[in-house]
Each structure stands twice: as C-alpha cells, then as structure tokens.
Amino acid sequence: MEKRKHHKSTLERVKAVRVITEQHYEAGNNSRCYKSVWRNYVYPAYKICYRTYLNYLGIPTTRPKEDPRQLSLFD
C-alpha cells in the first residue's frame, strides 16, 4: 500500500488530536473510549467525523529514520 504525504497543517492537526486523545483515553473504560473522546473533546474543537478521527490516529507524525547507508554532505 502506498504511503501518502500530508500537508503540514494536517500533520499539526493530527498532533493536536493525538494530544487530546492521550489526555482523555483510557483502555478498557467505556466512558473514556475513543468514541467518547471524539464526541466530547475532538468533535467540538475540530468538527471532524469519527472515521477521520480514527484515520488521524493511524497517521505517523514522526519522520522516518534515516538510512545509515545514505551518504551525508555535511558530516
């Protein structure tokens, strides 16, 4: 499957949504599940649907590690 590139603003929004999720999500607690976090905290702030919210949780926000075999110009 091909990886997509995302705009900087989308990646910033993904990071913000993940911070909200980390603050309020608890595994195994139905009153603090992903759906509840989306309904009470994410949707009022960002107006994204639940499916988009789940997609945001799957988007990597860190840069991939550099290949050690890649040569560098400034070392």
Cα dihedral sign, 19-25-26-27: negative
| Average pLDDT value for residue range 52-72 | 79
- 54 pLDDT tier (thresholds 50, 70, 90): very high
Segment (H or E) for 51: helix 50-58
Domain locations along the chain: 8-58
Q: What is the value of pTM for the model shown?
A: 0.73
The whole-angstrom separation of Cα 25 and Cα 27 is 7
| Average pLDDT value for residue range 25-29 | 90
